[in-house]
Amino acid sequence: MRRLPPAHPFDADAFPDDKLREECGVFGVTGVADAANFVALGLHALQHRGQEAGGIVAHDAATGFNSARRFGYVRDNFTSAALMETLPGPLAIGHVRYSTAGSKGKTQIRDVQPFFGEFSLGGAAIAHNGNITNAEELRRELIDRGSIFQSSSDSECIIHLMARSLQRKVPDRMMDALRRVEGAFSIVAMTRTKLIGVRDPLGVRPLVLGRLGDGHVLASETCALDIIGAEFLRDVAPGEMVVIEGGRVESHRPFREERPRFCIFENVYFSRPDSILGGRSVYETRSQIGVELAREAPVEADLVCPVPDSGTPAAIGFARESGIPYGMGIIRNQYVGRTFIEPTEQIRNMGVRLKLNVNRALIRGKRVVLVDDSVVRGTTSIKIREMILDAGAAEVHFRIASPPTAWPCFYGVDTPHREKLLAATMSEDEMRDHLQVDSLRFISLDGLYRAVGEAQGRDPAAPQYCDACFSGEYPVAPSDQIARGFALKAAE
């Protein structure tokens, strides 16, 4: 049997599962002893936002800045007492990543954040969630002016722009740098004494502030506060920079004010269901998406099943609203996908069956509604339909908790090229025929907006969220992509 070339030794997922992927999680804490231990726990809670690699930088008065960057899971690296003892001090930040920009699919250790820079006025480390849409242009300009890049990451531009600023304080340098940057950024940064959090003016990616005893915490999601017993204080506002030192939180507004455009897909899929986004439980929102979907796309059926795990709350909402019984018709094996370091071709071909198995006793003879969070390429949906029919289902109906994903994301989510997105080339009916299911319906964009709390739906003149991957309306022009020939949606 031919063996495939070895996968990356820490390949986050040797069996790509036809989902969009969130790219990064960030976490920082100050004012507590052994801050790096809390950062490791916080990153563990954010592991769903990036499984490829992680890093921590800590500062201690006696030893200065110390850092560790590793491939693989937080639990496999940052639980070693020997390693954590090298990261002493009361101030630390960390990052988990799955690459969006830079050397996608072949990450090198130099691409793993946090990045650290030593300036004339002291050092600083930054961890970035998001994607800089003018990074290539900035990089070219910085290289022309003499900057020497260490990594292929877009985030490194921020360090170089900070180094060139004439401001005297690191937070001011960071503000200078970020005013040149376009796109999405939720950043956690640190100096010797300060913990800094910043969100881009549109607030595309999340960032929250919490309190831990006398200290403070910044995190991508509230689930990372919960794991360390920190109290949620508030979201860092879009366009806000918070500078935390000596137990005080200073708030700055360094950017021109803009109407926020938070990523609506965080509600559907990326964030953990036990997190709170914009004051609302993600679980509740997802369940409400299922309610809206049942109202918009009712179906005669015997059983509602989630495609685990992210389809679960929407399936519960769908079942509640439709009155159709809910059941776990598909069971997920939580431990597959990370197990086979060098999968053989035969194992790869098993594909979805390695991750998902059908509960035959429940499915047999039933008209089944499968609720999934999204359809990207459609390859997984086809395999799931095959499995359900093999198990004896009478009919298969797909209900999708997001509108058709027809456009790539350039704001920190890994999406296939546009032509690989099923919805970019097919109508809903064509997708139904392609997937060979009895029916296929997606929630409408208005329905999704209602589910996230906008009673009147989407305001077409001034959309309340970023929904570019559904609508093709990009709130920040992806200038690097346009320069490479990406065609924006034609004006209607």
Q: Which residues are identified as catalytic?
A: 24
Decide if residue 282 touches ligand SF4 (CB under 6 A). no
User: Of 57-65, 189-197, 349-357, 466-474, which part binds ligand SF4 (CB under 6 A)?
Assistant: 466-474
Spatial contact of 121 and 168, defined as CB atoms under 8 Å apart:
yes
Six token digits for residue 305:
């099943």
Residue among 467, 476, 478, 480 that touches ligand SF4 (CB under 6 A)? 467
- Provide, rounded to whole angstroms, the least separation between the CB of residue 478 and ligand SF4: 10
Residue among 255, 265, 398, 449 that touches ligand SF4 (CB under 6 A)? 265
* 224-230, long-range: CB < 8 A, 24+ apart: 224/25, 224/27, 224/41, 224/42, 224/43, 224/45, 224/46, 225/42, 226/45, 226/274, 227/41, 227/42, 227/44, 227/45, 228/29, 228/38, 228/41, 228/42
- 102 or 475: CB nearest ligand SF4: 475
- 337 or 463: CB nearest ligand SF4: 463
Decide if residue 32 touches ligand SF4 (CB under 6 A). no
As a whole number of angstroms, the distance between CA 94 and CA 57 comes to 6
User: Of 110-118, 165-173, 407-415, 455-463, which part binds ligand SF4 (CB under 6 A)?
Assistant: 407-415
Decide if residue 400 touches ligand SF4 (CB under 6 A). no
- 208 or 468: CB nearest ligand SF4: 468
- Provide, rounded to whole angstroms, the least separation between the CB of residue 244 and ligand SF4: 27
- Provide, rounded to whole angstroms, the least separation between the CB of residue 218 and ligand SF4: 20
Decide if residue 401 touches ligand SF4 (CB under 6 A). no
Residue among 241, 291, 469, 476 that touches ligand SF4 (CB under 6 A)? 469
As a whole number of angstroms, the distance between CA 17 and CA 380 comes to 7
- Provide, rounded to whole angstroms, the least separation between the CB of residue 263 and ligand SF4: 3
- 23 or 52: CB nearest ligand SF4: 23
Residue among 24, 91, 189, 413 that touches ligand SF4 (CB under 6 A)? 413
> Count of residues for the chain?
492
User: Of 83-91, 160-168, 262-270, 321-329, which part binds ligand SF4 (CB under 6 A)?
Assistant: 262-270
Decide if residue 264 touches ligand SF4 (CB under 6 A). yes
- 240 or 373: CB nearest ligand SF4: 373
User: Of 206-214, 231-239, 261-269, 372-380, which part binds ligand SF4 (CB under 6 A)?
Assistant: 261-269
- Provide, rounded to whole angstroms, the least separation between the CB of residue 245 and ligand SF4: 31
Please state, in angstroms and as integers, the Cα–Cα distance from residue 34 to each residue in 60, 193, 215, 265, 446, following that order. Answer: 9, 15, 12, 35, 47
Decide if residue 442 touches ligand SF4 (CB under 6 A). no
Decide if residue 466 touches ligand SF4 (CB under 6 A). yes
- Provide, rounded to whole angstroms, the least separation between the CB of residue 8 and ligand SF4: 25
User: Of 51-59, 311-319, 360-368, 464-472, which part binds ligand SF4 (CB under 6 A)?
Assistant: 464-472
Decide if residue 358 touches ligand SF4 (CB under 6 A). no
- The number of residues that bind ligand SF4 (CB under 6 A) is 11
CA 116 to chain centre: 23
User: Of 244-252, 280-288, 318-326, 461-469, which part binds ligand SF4 (CB under 6 A)?
Assistant: 461-469
- 23 or 321: CB nearest ligand SF4: 23
- Provide, rounded to whole angstroms, the least separation between the CB of residue 469 and ligand SF4: 3
Decide if residue 204 touches ligand SF4 (CB under 6 A). yes
Q: Which residue from 357, 297, 360 is spatially nearest to 324, judged by alpha carbons? A: 297
184 class by beta-carbon count within 10 Å (0-12 exposed, 13-18 middle, 19+ buried): buried
Residue among 409, 421, 445, 448 that touches ligand SF4 (CB under 6 A)? 409
Catalog residues that contact ligand SF4 under the rule CB under 6 A.
Answer: 204, 263-265, 409, 411, 413, 466-469
